[in-house]
Amino acid sequence: MDPFYYGLIAFVVIFIGYSYFNYRRMKHFAALPDAEEIQHLTAANFKAKTAKGVVLVDFWAGWCTPCKMMAPVLNQVARASGRVGQVAKVNVEEQQRLAEQFKVRSIPTLLLLKDGREVDRFVGVKSKDFLLKKKTAFISC
């Protein structure tokens, strides 16, 4: 057999092993409690809570590992924002109608709303610096 195939087989075995190790590690990733500054939105209070100012809304689910990875980042963003702008979360399992209304197709999806209107959308795990930069750009407008 060609040495290329031995290398390919070794790569595949290592990749599968690494993926399995990370799956086992992330499967038991504990859910982090939300910061006090983070609001939980429902269909009943969504419009009222997002009508004024800049709000960063995280659409998430309890079973979603990337969503769990975003929890500490959102806590940091909420604490860093203080009273300027808000951070809120929407559980897509409990608030399916809101997820449909905003056409959320994958999670985590973060919407940046200004005065109730969507001005930006981010899908996937993002850094604290990225989110603060985007958020402050719309606060100063």
Q: Which of 34, 35, 53, 64 is catalytic?
A: 64
Residues ≥6 apart with Cβ < 8 Å to 71: 31, 32, 34
Q: Is 141 an active-site residue?
A: no
Q: Is 67 an active-site residue?
A: yes
Residues ≥6 apart with Cβ < 8 Å to 15: none
CB 64 within 8 A of CB 89: no
In whole angstroms, give the CA distance from residue 63 to residue 29: 10
Nearest alpha-carbon partner for 133 in 124, 115, 120 = 120
Percentages of the chain per state (helix, strand, coil), in multiples of 5:
45, 20, 35
Q: Which of 67, 77, 104, 110 is catalytic?
A: 67
CB 56 within 8 A of CB 88: yes
Catalytic residues: 64, 67
